[in-house]
């Protein structure tokens, strides 16, 4: 593994760890609203490892461990392993309203928390600066069926795709997509 990939993986790991912490805090608060306070770090760790409420976050934990293993001094991981981990990060950290369970829950967290949005943007920037784009700032206009601009929240566009999925884009977070949507015209029948 080249030193630049090693550094990139280390930076990804650090951002994933920060994001994991924010998501854990969010899920803990949600859990405690329903079940009451968690009595301490030991019981909390047990819940994180075994309770279904926290199961979706284990994918980030696993990815962090895989990056740690690949970047350890004893690792024999090569370029292929680095590329695979970067691709795995790119795919996992895609918030999607209609995606898999992780992507849907992550999408909700991104919608609810400015701190989570900031870290998502930092992940995007890191992946983009390395020449790897995650798709957060790209849109396939040929797949758009409809675009609506709701009154609330202002500066957003709700996009319905031909496969029936929908996604809300914020003009501040996704200026390139917003510019594309502002020029999009429905296909003629």
The Cα 41–Cα 20 span in angstroms is 16
Question: Distance of CA 168 to CAs 134, 141, 150, 156, 186, Å?
Answer: 17, 15, 10, 7, 18
Q: Which residue has the tokens 């967290």?
A: 109
Contact status, residue 141 vs residue 180, Cβ threshold 8 Å: yes
3-class DSSP state for residue 158? strand
Q: What is the pLDDT tens value at each position of the chain, 189 positions in all?
A: 677 788 889 999 999 999 999 999 999 999 999 999 999 999 999 999 999 999 999 999 999 999 999 999 898 887 778 877 887 888 889 888 887 889 889 999 999 999 999 999 999 888 877 654 444 445 677 778 888 888 777 778 888 878 777 777 777 666 777 777 777 787 776
pTM, whole model, 2 decimals? 0.67
> Residue 77: which residues within 8 A CB-CB, separation 6 or more?
1, 69, 70, 71
Strands in 144-148's sheet, in edge-to-edge order, are: 144-148, 156-161, 166-170
The Cα 2–Cα 78 span in angstroms is 8
Residues 58-113: tens digit of each pLDDT: 999 999 999 999 999 898 887 778 877 887 888 889 888 887 889 889 999 999 99
Say if residue 153 is preceded by a cis peptide, omega within 30 of 0.
yes
The Cα 97–Cα 117 span in angstroms is 15
Structure tokens at 181: 């949507």
Contact status, residue 139 vs residue 180, Cβ threshold 8 Å: yes
The Cα 32–Cα 36 span in angstroms is 4
């Amino acid at each position: 593994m080249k030193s630049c990939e090693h550094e990139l993986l280390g930076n990804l790991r650090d951002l994933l760890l920060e994001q994991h912490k924010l998501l854990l805090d969010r899920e803990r608060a949600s859990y405690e609203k329903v079940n009451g306070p968690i009595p301490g770090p030991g019981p909390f760790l047990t819940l994180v490892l075994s309770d279904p409420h926290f199961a979706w976050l284990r994918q980030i934990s696993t990815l962090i461990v895989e990056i740690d293993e690949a970047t350890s001094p004893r690792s024999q991981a090569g370029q292929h392993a680095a590329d695979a981990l970067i691709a795995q990060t790119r795919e996992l950290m895609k918030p999607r309203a209609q995606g898999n369970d992780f992507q849907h829950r992550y999408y909700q967290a991104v919608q609810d928390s400015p701190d989570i949005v900031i870290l998502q943007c930092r992940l995007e920037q890191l992946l983009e600066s390395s020449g790897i784009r995650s798709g957060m700032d790209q849109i396939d206009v040929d797949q758009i069926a409809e675009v609506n601009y709701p009154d609330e929240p202002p500066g957003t566009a709700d996009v319905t795709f031909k496969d029936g999925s929908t996604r809300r884009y914020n003009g501040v977070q996704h200026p390139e997509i917003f510019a594309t949507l502002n020029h999009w015209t429905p296909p003629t029948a």
